[in-house]
Amino acid sequence: MNIVLFGPPGAGKGTQADMLIQKYHIPHLSTGNIFRAAIKNETELGLKVKSILDEGGLVEDQLTVDLVAEELAFARYNSGAIFDGFPRTVFQAESLDKLLAKKDARIDFVFSLEVPKEELIRRILSRGQGRTDDTEEGIHNRLEVYNKETAPVLAYYKEKGLVHDIDGIGTVEEIFGRIAGFLH
């Protein structure tokens, strides 16, 4: 099963991904986590993308898609993945469809976590993970990029009838219950 967790920065995608992994044992594919690990390990990729992440911009589409293609080649993804932070542009969404089609697979569910902007900012500022992009300016940039580049991805999936809107306000368990309700 392939699931896309969709929503603006701070919507709780990572948290819900963790809950889904625990319950359904589907591997997590977070492009943000991959980029942060590369930066931490000072790999070639990390050096290339560090300033982009710090500024809240988007890493170039083809680079991101190639990275996901490489990742999806691992056998652990043979029965599916939870995509978190990807796709972030319509190009990425189209590329993902092609990658999955090669494996005779497809996106089964898109869960769109809905959280008002004020709450997103509050959550990001209070998560205190010390991420270098979690500054007022970084958040502002990421929300702007989200509205411009990423929001159209939702329309792309809506047209395919794959989207379930999830109220992203409540306890972690409540929100998970809303998602899991579609998976039985």
H runs (alpha helix) in the chain: 13-24, 31-40, 44-55, 61-72, 90-102, 117-127, 136-145, 151-159, 172-180
Pick from 6, 35, 111, 157: which binds ligand ADP (CB under 6 A)? 35
For residue 106, give both structure tokens. Answer: 């497809």
Report CA 109 to chain centroid distance, whole Å. 13
Catalytic residue among 40, 127, 148, 158: 127
- Which residue number, 68 or 105, has a Cβ lying nearer to ligand ADP? 68
Rounded to whole angstroms, how far apart are CA atoms 81 and 45? Answer: 23
Rounded to whole angstroms, how far apart are CA atoms 108 and 129? Answer: 32
132-161: which residues touch ligand ADP (CB under 6 A)? 133, 142
- Which residue number, 136 or 181, has a Cβ lying nearer to ligand ADP? 136
For residue 3, give both structure tokens. Answer: 């699931």
41-100: which residues touch ligand ADP (CB under 6 A)? 52-53, 56-59, 64, 85-86, 88, 92
Residues that bind ligand ADP (CB under 6 A): 9, 31-32, 35, 52-53, 56-59, 64, 85-86, 88, 92, 133, 142
* Residues with catalytic roles: 13, 88, 127, 131, 142
